[in-house]
Amino acid sequence: MAAEEPETRTVDVLYIGRADSSHGKVWQQFERDGYVVASARTQVEGLQFAWDLQPRVVVVNSANSGFSGDRLCRTLGRRLPGVQRLLIVERGAGANVPCELRLVRPFTGRKLRDSLLKLLEASAPNILRAGDVKLDLVSRVVISPRGRWHLTPKQCNLLAWLMRHPNQVISRQDLMERVWHTGYLGDTRTLDVHIRWLREKIEHNPTAPSILRTERGIGYMLSVSGMQGASGLLAEEDEDLSQD
């Protein structure tokens, strides 16, 4: 599992603690399946990442990382109330640590995978927000500076994928695979037309787009203003976390 530096984008799973090489294949498969995974070695770094990346699931490995995870899980629950927490512990430990799921070592890679998928399903949002754009995935209604619009299924899926990865350039190939389930790039006019339709619904000026931007020769990016940093939060929590 490769470490990820914090950036303004949507992360599915954040892993905090020392990596367990016995489950490396699980993380590799998750990334191949299109999930965005980040990792942090320490609690303080993990809290910073959690604030910056806003993950759907946080895995706290207290089993071999030198901390109980109690304060970290409580802080995550208080500061990011929508996050799903998976705690990894040794047998007999962590009974009172607040979390949504607990895994006691040893456990199989399949058990870890199934637990992660369960938490990801529980965290799946009906509403996505990115900057001034809000998308209801159930009704397929987008609200933007241009007003309120109903989207087709393909428009909704395309916009949702871009909103889940704000400020990240998504290649044409990735968008074709995720939305149209094809890797064929001989004709991407369908993608270009859908981008134009979305711009007409979310841009102040669709002919000079500032939100849904083209990265020439690569793909597209949903541009969102930067997020608030975690410096204030970390100043409040660093001392307690370092002593856990």
Contact 144, 132 (CB under 8 A): yes
pLDDT at position 94 is 80
Tell me the pLDDT tens digit for each residue of 216-229: 989 999 998 743 33
Instruction: Report how far apart, in Å, the C-alpha atoms of 29 and of each of 24, 25, 109, 110 are.
Output: 9, 6, 11, 11
Most confident by average pLDDT, 97-111, 120-134, 136-150:
97-111
- Domain co-membership, 61 together with 89: yes
For residue 240, tell me if it sits in a domain. no
For residue 41, tell me if it sits in a domain. yes
pLDDT class of 112 with cuts at 50, 70, 90? very high
The CATH number linked to 35 is: 3.40.50.2300
H/E stretch holding 219: strand 219-222
- Whether the predicted pLDDT of 16 surpasses 90: yes
- Whether the predicted pLDDT of 10 surpasses 90: no
pLDDT at position 36 is 86
Range of the domain at 24: 13-125
pTM: 0.56
* Number of domain units in the chain: 2
